[in-house]
Structure 1
Amino acid sequence: MTDSRPQQKISVCMATRNGESYVGEQVASILPLLQPDDEIIISDDSSTDRTVQIIKNLNDRRILLLENNTFFSPIFNFENALKYANGDIIVLSDQDDIWLENKIKLIRERFRQCPATIHLIVMDGLAIDATGKIIEPSLFRRIAAGPGVLKNVYDNTYMGCCMAFSRSLLQIALPFPKRIPMHDMWLGLLAELFGTVEFLEEKTIMYRKHATSMTEFQRRFLPLTQIRRRLYLGWSLGTRFLARRASQWTLTDG
């Protein structure tokens, strides 16, 4: 039987900063996968190279470029992009990876099948070096990815570049607390608390590991500053949880 429901709009949210080496290739890998009504929201944080001009040269009406920001933070640069997203499904993207052809199709299928109001999926990928050579056949295996609140508070495996989630998650997640360790950790943990989460083994990106990439593969003991950030993260999660429950009780009583 044919699914008669309208296709959900996708918003790809990307944060850029001095990404001229790879951003053109990354966006070019995304655009052919999108439908005419989908969008890419790109928030640029103080780039001093050709990043902004490269994006403008792509000249695609589906791209919304947010310029002249001075966050100096990937967390709040991503938050800025999320604030402008209009899609039913939000997909996060780094500035320097390459998307595989199956990514958007898989995302649409999983969200079409999931009845949950808040749903988040994490998809596997393979890692490449600066030249495009494969250096890791599975990101999931390399970082022992999987769900679990305590597991991911201690050692986050919610890689933003592998994530997509329901728009409704933003109602809880925004605004971001000021001192969370990373945006992807915050979003993933909130999805576990308030919705459903899937880790899918399908590989949908080539994650580029190079000198300036953010994600570290080695697992290590947490320094004191990170312990403090995780304590703050736990407090922030608890605060949002209680606020959400309070609003639900108010609606029920009303």
Structure 2
Amino acid sequence: MTKVSILMPVYNAERYLSEAINSILNQTFKDWELIIINDGSTDNSEKIINNYRDDRIYYIRNTENLKLIKTLNKGIDYCHGKYIARMDADDSCFPERLRYQVEFLDNNHDYMMCGTNAVVVDGHYNKTGKIRNLPDDNLLQVNLLFSPPFIHPSVMIRREVLRENRYDEDYKHVEDYELWCRIAKQGKVANLQKDLLAYRWHDTNISVLNNQVQEEMKDKIIREQLKMLDIEPTDEELYCHKITFRLYASGRKQNISIQQSEAVSAWFEKLLRQNKKIKKYNQDDLKAFLWARWAVLCISQKKYSKIFSPAFASYHPDVLTQLFKLFFFLKNK
């Protein structure tokens, strides 16, 4: 059995496609197959793909444009590897990506998937930033209550897990976030703390072109996640839930009033009360996570004296240990 199947959908990707394919060919880990599905491209993508003569590359051509979700679900059936790695046609992998992810999943049988960190590059491969996500399952489970903590083209998933958990067409543009939430309910997840992907950010990214729809669908997922705590948030509560992840929306700082800060604190207290009853998350982990988000809010508003005195503060050693880990993570993010 092939160890890794790399699933790469392609649609009019001629500008970066060779670079993406070459980054797979240059992997230090060699036991892989690359499943390329051309979703009705009208540019030179097919010609570029056909120039490659590696027996590990399998080319499938959709007779019509099925769009991303149907193409991904179709591609899963062509994957025969023990693990399935996602890859986009405009990104590129660092040479050690597959090796590190295979080693992790081979050595951690209770984990269903793992992602990686990434370097953000522009259309000319200039480094413009970085993406850092939390590494550990316990905090990732909490993070999923607020936002997607994985880079889609960086993940590697056990084949049987992905075959039993297909992408849901009802969650267009956030199909990955919804999938991570489902998988995380069934087992452990992780992010490797290594830059193993060059993630290309440009004005044709799905998240750029479909920002409004994407945000509405994210809200739907968040509401579904909150139902697990037996909470149906009001619009104001949903705003409080999301604001610490949107303080610099579109690159512009969001100013928060004192009343809004108090509402955020009250909302975090509500989450903790409900979790204490339902026991969905480890209470200390949730408290530390919320405290770290509170700190982000305070720092953004220059209310530094409030960082260590939220109404929900706890000075239990387990909470403080996680809190300072999160502070260190945020500092280096």
TM-score normalised to the size of structure 2?
0.59
C-alpha contact 2:168 2:175 (8 A) present in aligned 1: no
Matched, 1:124 2:124: no
1:177 alignment partner in structure 2: 168
2:184 alignment partner in structure 1: 192
- State the distance in 2 between where 1:185 and 1:82 align: 18
1:42 alignment partner in structure 2: 36
Matched, 1:135 2:122: no
1:25 alignment partner in structure 2: 19
Q: Are residues 220 and 139 of structure 1, via their aligned partners in 2, closer, same or farther at CA, if it must alter by over 3 Å? A: farther
1:90 alignment partner in structure 2: 84
C-alpha contact 1:23 1:51 (8 A) present in aligned 2: yes
- SS at 1:81 equivalent: helix
Deviation by residue 1:141-184 (Cα, 9 ceiling, x = unmatched): 6xxxx6226x436532332111011112124213x333124332
Instruction: Pick from 89, 93, 98 the counterpart of residue 99 of structure 1.
Output: 93
- State the distance in 2 between where 1:192 and 1:101 align: 28
Q: Which amino acid aligns with 1:179?
A: D
Q: Are residues 214 and 35 of structure 1, via their aligned partners in 2, closer, same or farther at CA, if it must alter by over 3 Å? A: same
- State the distance in 2 between where 1:41 and 1:222 align: 27
Q: Are residues 73 and 160 of structure 1, via their aligned partners in 2, closer, same or farther at CA, if it must alter by over 3 Å? A: same
Question: Any unmatched runs of 5+ in structure 1?
Answer: 1-6, 236-254
Deviation by residue 1:122-144 (Cα, 9 ceiling, x = unmatched): 100100110111000x2126xxx
Instruction: Pick from 160, 163, 167 the counterpart of residue 152 of structure 2.
Output: 160
Q: Which amino acid aligns with 1:214?
A: I
- State the distance in 2 between where 1:156 and 1:115 align: 23
1:249 alignment partner in structure 2: none
Question: Any unmatched runs of 5+ in structure 2?
Answer: 134-138, 228-333
2:105 alignment partner in structure 1: 111
| Displacement after TM superposition at 1:31 (Å) | 1.4
Matched, 1:57 2:51: yes
TM-score normalised to the size of structure 1?
0.76
| Displacement after TM superposition at 1:106 (Å) | 0.3
Instruction: Name the one with the larger strand percent.
Output: 1
Q: Which amino acid aligns with 1:133?
A: N
Deviation by residue 1:98-135 (Cα, 9 ceiling, x = unmatched): 2111101101210121122x511010010011011100
Q: Which amino acid aligns with 1:193?
A: K
Instruction: Indicate the structure (1 or 2) with the bigger Cα radius of gyration.
Output: 2
- State the distance in 1 between where 2:177 and 2:116 align: 15
C-alpha contact 2:11 2:45 (8 A) present in aligned 1: yes
2:331 alignment partner in structure 1: none
C-alpha contact 1:11 1:40 (8 A) present in aligned 2: yes
Q: Which amino acid aligns with 2:168?
A: P
C-alpha contact 1:119 1:191 (8 A) present in aligned 2: yes
